[in-house]
Structure 1
Amino acid sequence: MAPSPRKPRVPRVGPSGPPQSREEDYEASFDQAPSDQLPPVRGGAGESSVGRSSGGRVSVGRSAKVTVLHPVDDGADEPDEDQPLRSNPAREQPTKAHRAPSKGSHSLSPARLLGRRTPDAGSAAGGSRDVLAFPVPRAKRIRRRVVLVAVALVAVVAAVMGLVLFTPVLAVHTITVEGTKMLAPAQVQEALAPLKGKPLPLVGPSDVSRLVAPIVQVKSVQSRAVPPNTLLVTVVERVPVALVKQTDGFSVVDGDGVQIATAKDQSAYPVPVIDPQGAHMSHDTFLAVTSVLSALPQDVLGQLATASAQSVDSVQLKLSNGQTVVWGNTQDRDLKAKVLEALMKSAQNPPQGQAPVNVFDVSTPWHPVTR
């Protein structure tokens, strides 16, 4: 039985003009797609299953020549009740950065879960997609802050060091000298003149000691920086303990046997006179005598007239009033000095009927003897 002829399809007319549609003739083949996957289309040769792919091809259940209308979507046409309108894929442009998943789909690709861009139809057509960004881990943020703080501290330290080393803000302008008796402060300041203009934090005790070493009267020295521009120097002088007879006068020596000055007569220094008796000043006997004299208190030292020794174990002192001190060797010299001071005080006020003391023997300090 022959199918009844199909009533021609009249496209709708929009409000803005003539119908916007075009007709295309397709020759469909049976083996392109199964008929149950295509929408029904009424053809001139009877009912057939017809479908159209995204490129515009049509598949039918049996060979037939059909006419398909392609509506143009201008926002004014309404869809046909018999068959839904399909937009032309070639004219379709993405309008959103993310496409909603198809209905009934609940799966996401690993790339979407990790927030990465994946090539799809939208990106291929030039559309933009948002990239999901996960927050930076807390440990990484803390490590980054620590690095920034460390860099800032290094920059501050470098700036301070540059201020100290390369600017005259903390340079030495004034040198103050204390503790001098034999020396004049100007002598020490003249020796330390090379330190002027040098950054104050860079001036160390070794620099000061090296510059004052040629001054024999200086035994030791201490320095202290007084910001912003003052260097305070405290001098420890050598103490004269004896005058050594020379052909043209006297040499002033300290407890180490170092000659620190010269004198024309012995009135300039209230210290005993040492007769070297031909011994050299660096001799052990001479050094033993000067060592004993350096241990005596200043008031006892001022009462001595001479000091002599035949050996290192036979040091003998002579007081200005004629009394003699038998010292012995240099061992326990501090204890011997205290015992001698006590004996000399008691001899100044002897008990009634006691003979005056002429000899103080402190060679054995635990059992001193007076005669």
Structure 2
Amino acid sequence: MASTRRPTYTSTGRSARSGGTGGSDGNAGNGGQTGPAADDVISASRSVPESAPEGVGKGKEPEKPKRAGIPGLGRGRKAEQPAAAAENVLAFPEPKGKRRKRNILAVAGTLIALVAGLLAVATFSPVLAVDTISVSGTRLLTPAQVETALEPLRGKPLPQISDDEVARLLEPLVQVKSVSVQARPPSGLAVAVRERVPVALVKQGEQYQLVDVEGVQLAATADPASVSLPVIDGGAGAIGQDLFRATAAVLGALPADVLARLSNASAQSVDAVELKLVDGQTIIWGNAGEKELKAKVLAALLKVPADPKNPVKVYDVSVPRHPVTR
């Protein structure tokens, strides 16, 4: 910092040293020049503060202090460069879409974990163990028979029970065609049974077996009159599997009210199925093709009031679009 003090001027001529103001000696020593300008030499000096470093005012620059270096990083200036570079890196804000997606994933993960925990508790909790079983839809079977077959399910948690498991337990009961299960917490199980439908009777010895369209024997009776079903003449053992299935398929397509009016069914071939009504009329059915349409046409013909003068003895629906009565 520059000093604010003004320089001082001092006279260094011989007249000042000798104390006189002029004389012949002075003039002679000064080369014959006269006046104070010839004897007096003016010099300028500037005082230096006592606290100035050594060498200041003598033409030397003060030494600059050395910076302390960080061990292991070389000199001080080089060690400061990485820190300065790090401070100059700009931090951009995170995009809103990315932040929202991360939040959604976090919430979804939490919900999934919570649901999984609840499912695990419900699946293995004894609180939901089966205690009561209710059965519906049975006609050939009794509810007690179904409940006995499902006894292994008691004490098992409801979430672990499936329709397939119930159907497997009911396989020995041939009357059951399908089943559906509904849980009724905390400990109830509702089982809806769909049974096979008997369509005919087949005589075996002294008894008659109730069979469905697939020929599965569902029950037995000694009095065919107690069951409103036609009798298949000879049964599967006498007429063969193909004729039996063709006849059973025809009977399975008939509505219940028409089926109740039949007395028996027979087949000379798969294309010549015949039915007999309890009143003695004959129904020429033909083959098993278009059985749904034939069933509707036959039901309509049977509803036509009978003419006492011209009673109908034969209903021919083998060609259902052109039925014939005679």
- Write out per-residue CA displacement over residues 239-289 of structure 1, whole angstroms, 9 at most, x where no aligned residue: 111111112311111122111111112133111111227845761101111
In structure 2, C-alpha distance between the alignment counterparts of 1:199 and 1:232, rounded to whole Å? 14
Summarize the Cα distance change of 1:113–1:226 in structure 2 as closer, same or farther, 3 Å threshold. same
TM-score of the superposition, structure 1-length normalised?
A: 0.61
Alpha carbons 2:236, 2:244 under 8 Å: kept: no
Could you tell me which residue of structure 1 aligns to residue 324 of structure 2? 369
Equivalent residue, structure 2, for 1:266: 224
Q: With the length of structure 2 as denominator, give the TM-score of the two structures.
A: 0.69
Cα distance change of structure 1 residues 278 and 288 upon mapping to structure 2, 3 Å threshold: closer
1:111 and 2:83 aligned: yes
Q: Mind listing any 5+ residue stretches in structure 2 that lack a counterpart? A: 1-47, 59-79
Letter of the structure 1 residue corresponding to residue 204 of structure 2: Q
RMSD: 3.3
Kept in 1, the 8 Å contact 2:140–2:219? The answer is no
Aligned to 2:179: 221
User: Which structure: larger Rg?
Assistant: 2
Q: Which residue of 2 aligns with 1:196?
A: 154
Aligned to 1:156: 114
Mapped partners of 1:365, 1:144: distance in 2: 68
Letter in 1 for 2:230: P
Q: Distance in 1 between matches of 2:119 and 2:233?
A: 59
Q: Map 1:78-89; keep pairs closer than 5 Å.
A: none
CA distance in 1, matches of 2:235, 2:122: 59
Q: 1:293 to 1:150 in 2, by over 3 A?
A: closer
CA deviations 1:54-85 (Å, max 9, x no partner) are: xxxx9997xxxxxxxxxxxxxxxxxxxxxxxx
User: How many percent of aligned residue pairs carry the same amino acid?
Assistant: 49
* Alpha-carbon distance between aligned partners in 1 of 2:223 and 2:103, rounded to the nearest angstrom: 78
Tell me by how many angstroms 1:166 deviates.
2.1
What is the distance in 2 between the residues matched to 1:280 and 1:220? 30
Q: Is 1:231 matched up with 2:183?
A: no
Residue-pair matches, total: 259
Q: Which amino acid aligns with 2:148?
A: E
Q: Name whichever of 302-311 and 134-143 sits farther off.
A: 134-143
Cα separation, partners in 2 of 1:282 and 1:211, compared to 1, 3 Å: farther
The answer as to whether partners of 1:40 and 1:50 remain within 8 angstroms in 2 is no
What corresponds to 2:5 in structure 1?
A: none
More helix by share: 2
Is 1:257–1:282's contact at 8 Å kept on the other side of the alignment? no
Alignment partner of 1:306 is 2:264: yes
**SS where residue 244 of structure 2 aligns?**
helix
Of 198, 201, 221, 1:240 maps to 198
Are residue 341 (structure 1) and residue 299 (structure 2) matched? Answer: yes
Whether the 8 Å contact between 2:123 and 2:157 is mirrored in structure 1 is yes
Contact 1:224 1:232 in 2 (8 A): yes
